[in-house]
Amino acid sequence: MLEKMLINVREKMPLIHNITNYVTVNDCANILLACGGSPIMSDDIGEVEEITAVCGGLNINIGTLNERTVCSMIAAGKKANELGHPVILDPVGAGASALRTNTAYKLLEEVKFSVIRGNISEIKTLALGGGTTKGVDADVADKVTDETLDSVISFAKAFSEKTGAVIVITGATDIVADTQKAYVIKNGVPIMSRITGSGCMLTAMMAAYITANPQHVLEAAAAAVCVMGLCGEKADAVRKEHNAGNASFRNYLIDEVYKLDDAALKEGAKYEIR
Amino acid sequence: MLEKMLINVREKMPLIHNITNYVTVNDCANILLACGGSPIMSDDIGEVEEITAVCGGLNINIGTLNERTVCSMIAAGKKANELGHPVILDPVGAGASALRTNTAYKLLEEVKFSVIRGNISEIKTLALGGGTTKGVDADVADKVTDETLDSVISFAKAFSEKTGAVIVITGATDIVADTQKAYVIKNGVPIMSRITGSGCMLTAMMAAYITANPQHVLEAAAAAVCVMGLCGEKADAVRKEHNAGNASFRNYLIDEVYKLDDAALKEGAKYEIR
Amino acid sequence: MLEKMLINVREKMPLIHNITNYVTVNDCANILLACGGSPIMSDDIGEVEEITAVCGGLNINIGTLNERTVCSMIAAGKKANELGHPVILDPVGAGASALRTNTAYKLLEEVKFSVIRGNISEIKTLALGGGTTKGVDADVADKVTDETLDSVISFAKAFSEKTGAVIVITGATDIVADTQKAYVIKNGVPIMSRITGSGCMLTAMMAAYITANPQHVLEAAAAAVCVMGLCGEKADAVRKEHNAGNASFRNYLIDEVYKLDDAALKEGAKYEIR
């Protein structure tokens, strides 16, 4: 099933509008191209609605947000909703500042999201009005462990119920849940947290997956998570072979996304459904 | 002849002022360094005229433009004109939104460009007040084919007549034309469209080429196109050897520009003059 | 001694707030992760004080500055001072425009810096209200040579006296000085000036070093300079082995920072104390 999601991205080549941070924007564009999609970046209030209209889906990422771009995010989000385009939210650093937290709340109020993807601290901030986000990484106290897995799944399903969005919580174990069903995904390698942008890139790629698979948002989001983690595993093998570090790993990761086909995804995806 | 253009860039090391988008800005800086030039990025209205004055040439790229940077583009462009510095325009996404289209028109009115480089959809938008730009890639309906080549060359020459700029239309076949003469260039590989920034990088490098060769703008622009395409071919061979993907290809492409010498350019450039 | 600085960065994993330019921001984030630190980028006046408060140190880099970000730099700098966090300044292009020069002066007035790092032209601009910065590279007339070394060291010590900051002047020979003592460092390779961001990356990494070693700012800054130069040497060896260019070199450089341990630093650091 998940490999069908990949096939659809490669066939439909969805054009994705990204309003995103300037730290990882280049990586987001290249991973979108790698997976078979096509990116356009645009954040000015004077054009975001038009740009969203020519695209198939919208990716909103609040890293390095500023007053100017917050308005653009809301305008583009509303337009995408109006047109029935899927919209995905990456609440980077929600909980780390009032600006980010309040922007995330405002976006949740004004825009209907198909998917919300963050680490556990960010998602808890959104759901509970709290959390302990330190910077842009998940706080240790929020870590998903074997002991807490069941309760995190219930939490994700409940937050999906509340928002109408598929909830994606990424970390060592990834959870992709709608109100009824959760994928628990075990792909991935630790070095993914030693590059900037592995979260942003996943969200951007996920935008392409859900746009190419509008009838299967849960499966499309789960497929994107598996692709990212599996390509991380493959890229880390290449990295070790070359005795390389995190910068080369970043390139290898995007390379593996470029090369991945449906058979390799089918073989390598490690998940269970709960 | 074209290889002399490369030699001049390496000898004169032109300093280029770039007002460009935040998606591919790092790649533009690195390719400028690779080809033998030197980059400075600056977009604040408070300094763009001064920065342009210490540079040899100016590169204006309208990707991710916003209200703040549009003014800076015009101010810097006028200053560069006043000083007799070459100015190049990359109308990224012209036709995809009114903001981009109108900004491109305004720039054409207010600033005299030495070169305008875009894909066929973007250039048609500029020339005809129309076009069918979808996002930042050329529309299929606008594709340059063997059948349409003659008419596209005539179109480019006419637009050169109208603007006084050398017109560069890039795609599978590239056209570099002034009012009298057109280079039709066949270097390049398909994967160049699977990385972000191959167009932006070409424009940035071309700024260095025309700045180092002010008496030969047509040849300098054609040389930059050949360099980019030829280095793409070489980089793709390296990529295949390493079984790599688009992210590594991007690095190899800049690497090849870094390594290219005049003899290799002379040997590898594939063009005819029409 | 210097290797102890590296060990502390890897153990303490300092979180660094970066207000920096959009050209090299991704590289700065990845080198911070490579050295053992953790980055957060944020420049909006609505959140910079909060973000600084959750971090351990602050990196202010004035490349691609604009009116909006200048206020944020000052607000964050004051907050960091209030909290006793180390703050580092990279005056990119000071001397190249009045905006950059005046912003640097204003920052020196309003914020107390632990370290100021630039090339000789930039530092002279700050110290003497002059200098001959052309673009973002040091002017040839300002070059540190064997003949001028003594006077540059005296100059750096005097500027340290005036500012209370450790002064870091980088070039073919690097000088790291407080009022009493100067490290003269000879690590590094010429190709480091053929990538964008080697200065910005050093400053970002140095922020992690001084944050993890607050009692030893001089030694921490010197250690960061040695790490950068030494990793440049190692990366250039890898580059030559692969017959690669500047883009791959950039990745190898960050990779080497990722891999470097205290023993390799001890063995490879080339410096004398004056």
pLDDT digits (tens, 9 = 90+) for C100-156: 999 999 999 999 999 999 999 999 999 987 555 666 677 656 778 888 999 999 999
- Residue C132: the pLDDT is 58
Residue A172 to residue A193: CA distance in whole angstroms? 10
Segment A223-245 shows an average pLDDT of: 98
- Sign for the CA dihedral angle at B12, B15, B20, B22 comes to positive
φ/ψ region of B21 (left if φ > 0, alpha if ψ in -120 to 50, else beta) reads beta
- Interchain contact C38–A (C-beta under 8 A): yes
Q: Does the structure show a pLDDT above 70 at A72?
A: yes
Of C65, C135, C247, nearest to B30 by CB-CB distance is C247
Class of residue B139 by CB neighbours under 10 A (exposed 0-12, middle 13-18, buried 19+): middle
The residue-averaged pLDDT of B112-133 equals: 88
Q: How much is the pLDDT for B132?
A: 60
pLDDT band at A140 (very low <50, low <70, confident <90, very high): low
The answer to whether B39 contacts chain C (CB < 8 Å) is yes
* Banded pLDDT at B141 (limits 50, 70, 90): low
Q: What is the pLDDT of residues C7-26, one digit of tens each?
A: 999 999 999 999 999 999 99
- Give the DSSP H or E segment for B182: strand B182-185
Give me chain A's average pLDDT, please: 95
The per-residue pLDDT for A177 is: 98
Subunit contact C134:B26, Cβ cutoff 8 A: no
Pairing mode, strands A15-19 and A38-41 = parallel
Beta strand segments in C133-265, E = 166-170, 174-177, 182-185
Q: How far is CA A60 from the centre of its chain?
A: 10
Of B38, B30, B29, give the one whose Cα is nearest residue B9. B38
At residue B146, the pLDDT reads 85
Are B253 and B36 within 8 A, CB to CB? no
Contact B106/A at CB under 8 A: no
Q: Cβ contacts of residue B160 below 8 Å, gap of 6+?
A: B166, B167, B177, B178, B179
A to B CB pairs, distance under 8 Å:
97
Nearest to C44 among A67, A195, A245 (CB): A67
- Can you give the pLDDT at residue C139? 67
Interchain CB contact of A96 with B (< 8 Å): no
The interface predicted TM-score (ipTM) is 0.95
- What domains are there in chain B, each with its CATH number? 2-273 (3.40.1190.20)
A254 touches B at CB < 8 Å? yes
pLDDT band at B131; cut points 50, 70, 90: low
Widest CA span of chain C, in angstroms?
50
State how far residue A208 is from chain C, nearest Cα, in angstroms: 23
At B240 the pLDDT is 98
B135 touches A: beta carbon within 8 Å: yes
pLDDT digits (tens, 9 = 90+) for C212-222: 999 999 999 99
How close C60 comes to chain A (CA, Å)?
Answer: 15
3-state secondary structure chain A: CHHHHHHHHHHHCCEEEEECCCCCHHHHHHHHHHHCCEEEECCCCCCHHHHHHHCCEEEEECCCCCHHHHHHHHHHHHHHHHHCCCEEEECCCECCEHHHHHHHHHHHHHCCCCEEEEEHHHHHHHHHCCCCCECCECCHHHCCCCCCHHHHHHHHHHHHHHHCCEEEEECCCEEEECCCCEEEECCCCHHHHHCCCHHHHHHHHHHHHHHHCCCCHHHHHHHHHHHHHHHHHHHHHHHHHCCCCHHHHHHHHHHHHHHCCHHHHHHHCCEEEC
Task: List C residues 189-228 in contact with B (Cβ-Cβ < 8 A).
Answer: 194-197
Judge: C195–B33 Cβ closer than 8 Å, yes or no: yes
pLDDT at A130 over 70: no
pLDDT at A132: 59
Q: Are B62 and B103 in contact (CB under 8 A)?
A: yes
For C22-48, write each residue's pLDDT tens digit.
999 999 999 999 999 999 999 999 999
Residue with the two structure tokens 């004055």: B53
Residue C180: CB atoms within 10 Å: 9
Chain C residues within an 8 Å CB radius of A97: 42, 46-47, 50-51
pLDDT at position C146 is 84
B48-77 confidence digits (pLDDT tens): 999 999 999 999 999 999 888 999 999 999
Nearest chain C CA: its distance from A87 CA (Å): 24
Instruction: Give the pLDDT of residue B133.
Output: 64
- Give, in order, the Cα–Cα distances in Å from A36 to each of A5, A9, A202, A206, A261: 12, 6, 14, 12, 11
How confident is the model at residue C210, as a pLDDT?
98
Q: Of C185, C163, C271, C204, nearest to C21 (Cα)?
A: C204
Q: What is the pLDDT of residues B80-111, one digit of tens each?
A: 999 999 999 999 999 999 999 999 999 999 99
Q: Which tens digit of pLDDT belongs to each residue from C56-105?
A: 999 999 999 988 899 999 999 999 999 999 999 999 999 999 999 999 99
- DSSP β-ladder status, A57-61 and A87-90: parallel
Q: Return the residue matching tokens 């825009």.
A: A111
Measured between CA atoms, how close is A97 to chain B, in angstroms?
A: 24
Q: Which residue has the tokens 């970000």?
A: C69
Confidence of residue A134 (pLDDT cuts 50, 70, 90): low
Question: Over chain B, what is the mean pLDDT?
Answer: 95
* Whole-number pLDDT of residue C136: 67
Which residues of chain A make contact with C46, given a CB cutoff of 8 A? Answer: 66-67, 97-99
Q: Which of C26, C50, C51 sits opposite A23 (nearest CB)?
A: C26
Residue of chain C whose alpha carbon sits nearest to that of A195 = C30
Judge whether A103 is closer than 8 Å to chain C, CB to CB. Answer: no
Q: What is the dihedral of CA C127, C131, C133, C139, to 10 degrees?
A: -110
Least confident of A141-150, A172-181, C174-183: A141-150
Contacts of C175 (CB under 8 A, 6+ apart): C144, C152, C153, C156, C167, C168, C169, C182, C183, C184, C185
Whole-model pTM over 0.90: yes
Q: What does the pLDDT read at residue A141?
A: 63
Give the DSSP H/E element, type plus range, for residue C251: helix C246-259
Model pLDDT for residues A81-99, shown as the tens digit of each residue: 999 999 999 999 999 999 9
Q: Would an 8 Å CB–CB cutoff place B240 in contact with chain A?
A: no
Average pLDDT value for residue range B123-139: 75
* C47 touching A (Cβ < 8 Å): yes
Q: Stretch B120-130: mean pLDDT, rounded?
A: 89
Band (A156; pLDDT cuts 50, 70, 90): very high
Tell me the average pLDDT across B146-174. 95
Distance (Å) from the alpha carbon of C49 to chain A's nearest alpha carbon: 9
Burial status of residue B158 (CB atoms within 10 A of its CB: 0-12, 13-18, 19 or more) = middle
Question: HSE-up of B270 (CA within 13 Å, CB side)?
Answer: 13
Q: What is the pLDDT of residue C86?
A: 98
Distance CA B196, CA C23 (A): 15
